[in-house]
């Protein structure tokens, strides 16, 4: 398996867009007049350079994720942040079985990376499995929002599972393809190929922001 690498750049994104062309996930975006943004696990474990599980590609993906957050805040649209915290009773049986790293409550690495995390008026959910829907009140928090935009880490685990689960719940999802990250480009690319073929829209941050502007995104009256 490839080592962790910094692979995300404009050339990579152009190549992915070319390969995804014609897939269901590259069909025109739905109106984003009332979207929700779900920011997955922007925690120090994954996003800080000094962490043993640092994801190098997040340095670029995080810049685009911040653009999304800024635009959702500007438009007063719903934002929900997730943090992955290992359960005291079951510290991640499946995650641990496949070599995943538990994130205990109270660990400094469980906190949000600098520049990320909820501000007043935004919501947070704590999850202990890959899916942000499993055992949380995410569905209730965004029950009025018509489309769910997803960004964060990691693409091949929590992003993939959260988006697939949303499809089972008949939720329309847009994956911010350049505002998510994995350990390497193969994992990121394969995640996009799966999700774009029957689970979700895949769009760049610029495309999402443009669609929000055209749709007159904002809080519902």
| Domains assigned to the chain | 12-20+31-215 (3.40.50.850)
Angle between helices 58-74 and 205-215 (to 10 degrees): 10
Question: 120 phi and psi, to 5 degrees?
Answer: -55, 130
* Per-residue pLDDT tens digits for 193-211: 999 999 999 999 999 999 9
Instruction: Work out the average pLDDT over 136-155.
Output: 97
Q: How many CB atoms lie within 10 A of CB 19?
A: 14
- pTM equals 0.93
What is the pLDDT, as a whole number, of residue 82? 98
* Per-residue pLDDT tens digits for 108-126: 999 999 999 999 999 999 9
How high does pLDDT run on average in the chain?
A: 93
What is the pLDDT, as a whole number, of residue 221? 41
Phi and psi based region of residue 20 (left: phi greater than 0; alpha: psi -120 to 50; beta: remaining) = alpha
Q: What is the band of 220 on the pLDDT scale with cuts at 50, 70, 90? A: very low
């Amino acid at each position: 398996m490839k080592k962790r690498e910094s692979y995300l750049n404009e050339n990579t994104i152009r190549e992915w867009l070319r390969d995804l062309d014609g897939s269901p996930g590259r069909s025109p975006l739905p109106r984003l007049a009332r979207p929700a943004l779900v920011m997955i696990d922007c925690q120090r474990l994954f996003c800080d350079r000094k962490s043993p599980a640092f994801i190098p590609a997040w340095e670029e993906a995080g810049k685009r994720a911040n653009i999304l957050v800024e635009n959702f805040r500007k438009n007063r649209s719903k934002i929900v942040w997730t943090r992955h915290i290992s359960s005291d009773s079951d510290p991640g049986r499946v995650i641990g079985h496949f070599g995943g790293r538990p994130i205990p409550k109270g660990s400094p690495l469980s906190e949000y990376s600098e520049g990320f995390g909820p501000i007043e008026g935004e919501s947070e959910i704590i999850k202990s499995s890959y899916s942000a829907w499993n055992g949380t009140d995410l569905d209730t928090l965004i029950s009025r929002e018509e489309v769910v935009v997803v960004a964060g880490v990691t693409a091949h685990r929590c992003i993939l599972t959260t988006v697939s689960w949303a499809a089972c719940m008949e939720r329309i999802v847009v994956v911010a393809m350049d505002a998510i990250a994995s350990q390497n480009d193969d994992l990121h690319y394969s995640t996009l190929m799966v999700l774009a073929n029957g689970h979700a829209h895949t769009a760049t941050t610029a495309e999402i922001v443009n669609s929000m502007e055209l749709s007159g995104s904002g809080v519902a009256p």
